[in-house]
Structure 1
Amino acid sequence: MIRTENLCKRYGKFEAVHDLNLDVRPGTVFGFIGENGAGKTTTLSILATLMLPTSGRAFVGTAEVTSDPAMVRRLIGYMPDVFGVYDDLTVREYLGFYGTAYGVANTLLEPRTQELLHMVSLEDRSDAYVNALSRGMQQRLGLARCLMHDPPVLILDEPASGLDPRSRIEMREIIKGLRERGKTVLISSHILPELADMCDEIGIIKSGQLVACASVEVVTARANGQRQMCLEVLGEGQLLAHFVRRHEWVTDILSSDDCKVELLFAGGDQEQVEFVRELLQAGYHLKSFHEVGGSLEDLFLHLTKDEERVDQQTAASKQML
């Protein structure tokens, strides 16, 4: 439903987006994840026809964003990370205004407004002025505005930004409901753990380039290729970390202190048994050895750390030439 082909956006010598290839399937929620400045908003602005790409192409359905922007705008509901509200309009008037701007028939304006106010839990604030709403209420109202013309695709740029925990949960549940209605949702965020149970697929972007793109499970397996394990010992954690650092099945030491070592382990179940046997034979006093469930945030940090290492190696190679 959303597709980009070698999409690039340059500002002079700075490349904000580099050869980006996305493919968001119809009826799915796609999480577009990255740090501030990674290129998320630039990509979403191009998809929303607010910005022209330097090269490459982008599609919503069969409509290409540069050659058929009018069709793209009919297909999408776009919610920017910061959007303005009109101080002298009530919630109902605000939605009615945008419904008219979107070309919704007059006979449908009121029932559509009622339906959406119910969906975002703002029925009791329909006569309140928009500027009197809390940040969370304004975000939910902004989402309702995007849905006034019932688009099949939603492009949401940091919809949970600045929200308190309760409001974030409410926003997440609304987006899950939209998926159940068959909407295709592209949502950007840097609040990584909150996307894990909401998205069907994720794309992790770093410095304008995709680091990984697939289902959460596939990306985790592809990126890590190992398990995150925790070793608990009796007061010899630092010695143990030094001992296992060069072991063939240990790919990285994540943290260590006197009582605990967390590491990335590349072996399977049988290798774990042999690994523990080696440690016991070496005289270490193990209390436990267990797998730690890595979060989406752990994955992002691991991937971007690898990317930074590649950047550093590339820079060092250029200096040597």
Structure 2
Amino acid sequence: MKIAVDAMGGDHAPQVIVEGVERARDAYPDLEFTLYGREQEIRQYLKKDERITIVQTDVVIDGNESPVKAIRSKKDASMVLAANAVKSGDADALFSLGSTGALLAAGLFIVGRIKGIERPGLMPTLPAVGGGISSFNMLDVGANAENRASQLYQYALMGSYYAHDIRHIEHPRIGLLNNGTEPHKGDDLHQEAFKLIAADKSLNFVGNVEASNLFNGPADVVVTDGFTGNATLKAIEGTANTLLHLLKHSIMDAGVKEKLGGLLLKQSLGGLKTTFDTSAYGGAVLLGLKAPIVKAHGAADSEAVYYTVRQIREMLHNQTIQKVVAYFSEQAKIEKKD
């Protein structure tokens, strides 16, 4: 299994990327990597090049550039070269810590969308602390500013495949993010999406879920439009970081007794931090494209890179994308007969 890596994307490239890739290479003998970027910089951190090939390029897409314009004009950019490797069949998947918009554009215009999928969705894995689960998936969280009900239904289908294949959940519970749990809640978009998802009996649809209840694990896959999903994701991340920061300073700025109590609770607080560390869950997948395209956070460390590579390996091993392609191809045949 061959993975194309944009080695120059992210805040700490290429060091964390090389370190994470080497750890994955050593753990999984069935993986090969092609790293696209500045060879001299990459080799500074590379311990051995076993099953790692470097393709030299000095061109990098900046996060402030127009995504579509950058993909179309910078033909030799590390991300573009990696995407072309997937398109040509020289690689099976693409991984980057770079611009989300540029990666989406590369996925759409170079790798290509699965036939029958209207719009790809960006799907991370997030922590949960209740409902008998430790994590859940949510899509779309920002690939699209607007969505139609039919697209939310497709997210439910793709998310269900992913949760079954990668998280090994036999019948993933699908929830629709809404402003109330009752079936009639929400605007026209959400009411129509509710009906479409509920009508598909192959899906284990549990109905509407509210943002205030997400951490309690009401669903294994939460479906939402890109605008709402992005706002919710940022609220979750911001709240978790703020609470951990306030908790730490409340202890450190208090008296001796409180600091001693903090020391006694250090292990428990460390576990809390680990729970909300999304790096252990891998990257965000752009579902709906012809190959696994995965985006990790720009500030990710080598640990996050390793877990993201492991996630990609699972997708390739289980042929998750091929199953989605087969499903929508079969649906197209049925619709054509009708």
TM-score of the aligned structures, taking structure 1 as reference length:
0.27
* Structure (1 or 2) with the greater helix fraction: 2
Structure index of larger Rg? 1
TM-score of the aligned structures, taking structure 2 as reference length:
0.26
Higher relative contact order (Cα pairs below 8 Å, separated by 6+ residues):
2
